[in-house]
Amino acid sequence: MRRRDGELLLYWALPAVLGVWLSAFLLFPGFTRPMSPAMSADAVAGFYRDHVWRIRASMIVFNWFSVGLIPVLMLIVLQIRRMGHRTPILAYCMIGCAAAGPTLFLTADLFWMIAAFRPERDAGITQLLNDLGWITFTCGVPFLIAQSVFLALAIYLDRLERPVFQPWVAHFNLVVAAALVPAAFAGLALDGAVAWNGLLSFWLKNAAIAVWIAVMWLVLGRAMRQERAAEAPAV
């Protein structure tokens, strides 16, 4: 039986990372009261001038911890490798998606950080950087959608007598993938439910991600306990 101390450490580190994320989320004024894409250039520039230090601080925290979900995603990859598949391709697909999602989030953070770096610059440039940040953050969901679909497919194709994840986990991932789809179209609207501050593109998307993290953390812990229990008799 391989030593799993490191895996357990990564697993239990997630609640602390989530606490840091929540603090940064509440610190960034653009999230607690989502900025409207219809704001004028002068209004956007004024927002960055008025909240420059809160924006800088929150983006630094996000930059440090935006990769905090990757260890848990890799633990899910290990569980996919345990499944009764004839090919490891689905695990590799999950690895690719896990690398791309945090990268896009980090890129959005950098755009917001740059916008706050020189708040006295021309308002049109600040608005452009703000647009880049919001569009990247909101519309960059295809990798998250694919991640849920690949995971659901892996669960459906698991041929083990005792599946690693129960079928309902696959159904749940498909529901999450569907909830993320509207955010991909946020670049087409300045107001309404699909706009980057709207019901579907901001609130539903972020709620779906939060619920996905919580549910997958719980079912992952159950799968890891089952794996350890299965190896104990052999030892």
Q: DSSP for the chain?
A: ----HHHHHHHHHHHHHHHHHHHHHHH-HHHHTTPPTT--HHHHHHHHHHTHHHHHHHHHHHHHHTTTTHHHHHHHHHHHHHSS-S-SHHHHHHHHHHHHHHHHHHHHHHHHHHHHH-TTS-HHHHHHHHHHHHHHHHH--HHHHHHHHHHHHHHHT---SS-SS-HHHHHHHHHHHHHHGGGGGGGG-SSSTTSTTSIIIIIIHHHHHHHHHHHHHHHHHHHHHHHHHHHTTT-
Which pLDDT does position 87 carry in this prediction? 84
- Separation between Cα atoms, residue 48 and residue 177, nearest integer Å: 33
Provide the whole-model pTM: 0.91
Q: Which residues contact 178 (CB under 8 A, 6 or more apart)?
A: none
Task: Read off the tokens for 70.
Answer: 């990757």
Does 43 have pLDDT greater than 70? yes
pLDDT for the residue 53: 94
Residue 2 has pLDDT above 90, yes or no: no
Nearest to 107 by CA among 136, 82, 131: 136
Assigned token pair, 155:
């669960």
Q: How do residues 11-25 score in pLDDT, each as one tens digit?
A: 898 999 999 999 999
Contact assessment for residue 172 and residue 140, using Cβ atoms and an 8 Å cutoff? no
pLDDT for the residue 4:
66
107 pLDDT more than 80:
yes
Mean pLDDT along residues 153-179: 95
Residue 123 has pLDDT above 60, yes or no: yes
CA pair distance 156, 87, nearest whole angstrom: 14
Within 8 A by CB and 6+ apart from 199, the residues are 193
- The Cα 62–Cα 152 span in angstroms is 28
Contact indicator for 153, 87 with CB cutoff of 8 Å: no
**185 HSE (CA, 13 A, CB side):** 10
**Which residue segment(s) compose the domain that 107 sits in?**
5-231
State the chain's mean pLDDT as an integer: 92
Instruction: Read off the tokens for 171.
Output: 């159904």
Domain total for the chain?
1
